[in-house]
Structure 1
Amino acid sequence: MTTENTGVKSKPVWWKFVVIIVAILVTVLIYLVSPLLLGNGSVKYADIEDHFKYGSIGGEEANGIPYWIWKVLPVMFPDKLPGEGYTSLGFISEPEQDLPIGFSQSKILFNRVGQNCATCHAGSLRDTPDSQPQIITTMPSNTVDLEGYIKFLSAVAVDHRFTAKEMMPMIESLGAKLNPLEKLIYRYLAIPQTRDALITQRSQFAFLERQSDYGPGRVDTFTSYKTRQFGFSSELIEDKELNGIADFPSIWQQKPREGMQLHWDGDNKSVNERNSSAALALVTPTTINLDAIHRVADWLWELPPPPYPYEINQELASLGKPIYQNNCASCHAFDGAKVGTVVPIEEIGTDRGRLDSYTYEFLSNQNTLFTDIIYKGEDQRFQNFRKTNGYANMPLDGIWLRAPYLHNGSVPTLKDLLAAPDNRPQEFYRGYDVFDRDKVGFVSDVAEEQGKQYFKFDTRLPGNSNSGHLYGIDLDSQDKEALVEYLKTL
Structure 2
Amino acid sequence: MNPSRWSGSRVILGLLLTLTLLAALYAALRFLPDRAVTHADPAEHFKYGSLGGERNMGFPYWLFQVLPEVCPDLLPGKGYASLGFITEPGHDLPVGMSQRRHLGLDRVFLNCAVCHSATVRTAPDAAPRLVLGMPANQLDLMGFQKFVQACVNDRRFTPAQVVPRIAEKAGGLSPLDRHLVYPLAIHLMRDGVAGLIGRLRFIHLQEPWGPGRVDTFNSAKGIFMAPFEQLPRDELNGVSDFPAIWNQARKEGMQLHWDGNNTSVRERNLSAAFGAGALPRLIDYAAMARIESWIATAAPPAFADHYPIDAALAARGQAIYSATCAACHGQNGSDFAGEYVGKVTPLAAIGTDRGRLDSYTLELAQNQGLLYAAHPERRFRHFRKTWGYANAPLDGVWLRAPYLHNGSVPTLWDLLQPAGARPARFYRGNNLYDPQRMGFVADQPSADGRALFAYDTTRPGNGNAGHEGDAYGTTLPDADKWALIEYLKTF
1:449 is displaced (CA, Å) by 3.0
Q: Render the CA deviation track for 1:316-364: whole Å, top value 9, x for unaligned.
A: 1001000000000000001110111101101100000000000011111
| Mapping of residues 4-153 of structure 1, within 5 Å | 18=12, 25=19, 29=23, 33=27, 36-37=30-31, 40-108=34-102, 109-153=104-148
For each residue in 1:202-258, what CA deviation from the matched residue of structure 2 results, as whole angstroms up to 9, or x when unmatched? Answer: 22232222212111110001112111x111122122210011100000101012211
Q: Which among 166, 173, 178 is matched to residue 171 of structure 1?
A: 166
What is the TM-score with the length of structure 1 in the denominator? 0.93
Alignment of 1:284-303 (within 5 A): 284-303=279-298
User: Residue 454 of structure 2 aligns to a residue in which SS?
Assistant: strand
State the shift of 1:266 in Å: 0.3
- Contact (CA 8 Å) 1:351, 1:464: kept in 2 or not? yes
Does 1:479 pair with 2:476? no
Check if 1:226 corresponds to 2:221: yes
C-alpha separation in 1, matches of 2:411 and 2:173 = 50
Match of 2:388 in 1: 390
Q: Is the 8 A contact 2:163 2:183 kept in 1?
A: no
CA contact (8 A) 2:415 2:422 kept: yes
Which residue number in structure 2 is paired with residue 332 of structure 1? 329
**Separation of aligned partners in 1, 2:145 and 2:240:** 16
Which of the residues 379, 382, 396 maps onto 1:381? 379
2:374 aligned partner:
372
2:445 equivalent to 1:447: yes
Match for residue 404 of structure 2 among 398, 403, 406: 406
Distance 1:426 1:486 in 2: 27
Q: Show the counterpart of 2:348.
A: 346
**Counterpart in 2 of 1:277?**
271
CA RMSD in angstroms comes to 2.1
Q: Which amino acid aligns with 1:280?
A: F
User: Helix, strand or coil for the counterpart of 1:330?
Assistant: helix
Aligned to 2:461: 463
CA contact (8 A) 2:372 2:380 kept: yes
AA in 2 matched with 1:387: K
State whether residues 54 and 104 of structure 1, in contact with CA within 8 Å, keep that contact through their aligned partners in structure 2. Answer: yes
Any unmatched runs of 5+ in structure 2? Answer: 331-335
Report the counterpart of residue 333 of structure 2 in structure 1. Answer: none
Of 283-292 and 422-431, more deviation after overlay is shown by 283-292
Q: Alignment partner of 1:251: what SS? A: coil
Q: Using the aligned pairs only, state the percent identity.
A: 47
Q: Normalising to structure 2: TM-score of the pair?
A: 0.93
Hey, what does 1:434 align to over in structure 2?
A: 432
Q: Give the residue type in structure 1 aligned to 2:203.
A: L
Distance 1:174 1:487 in 2: 48
Write the distance in 1 (CA, Å) between the matches of 2:180 and 2:279.
25
Secondary structure in 2 aligned to 1:222?
Answer: helix
Query: Match for 2:325: what amino acid?
Result: C
SS across alignment from 1:301: helix
Residue of 269, 291, 305 corresponding to 2:300: 305
Match of 1:317 among 284, 306, 314: 314
Q: How much does 1:172 deviate?
A: 1.1
| Unaligned segments of structure 1, at least 5 residues | 1-8
Say which SS state the counterpart of residue 226 (structure 2) adopts: coil
Whether the 8 Å CA contact 2:62–2:170 is kept in 1: the answer is no
Q: Give 3-state SS (helix, strand or coil) of 1:174's partner.
A: helix
Give the residue type in structure 2 aligned to 1:440. M
Moved more, 460-469 or 188-197: 188-197
Residues paired across the two proteins, number: 477
Q: Which has the larger radius of gyration?
A: 1
Judge which range, 410-419 or 275-284, deviates more. 275-284
Instruction: Indicate the larger mover: 183-192 or 32-41.
Output: 32-41
Measured in 2, the distance between the counterparts of 1:238 and 1:177 equals 52
Task: Report the Cα distance in structure 1 between the residues aligned to 2:283 and 2:82, rounded to whole angstroms.
Answer: 29
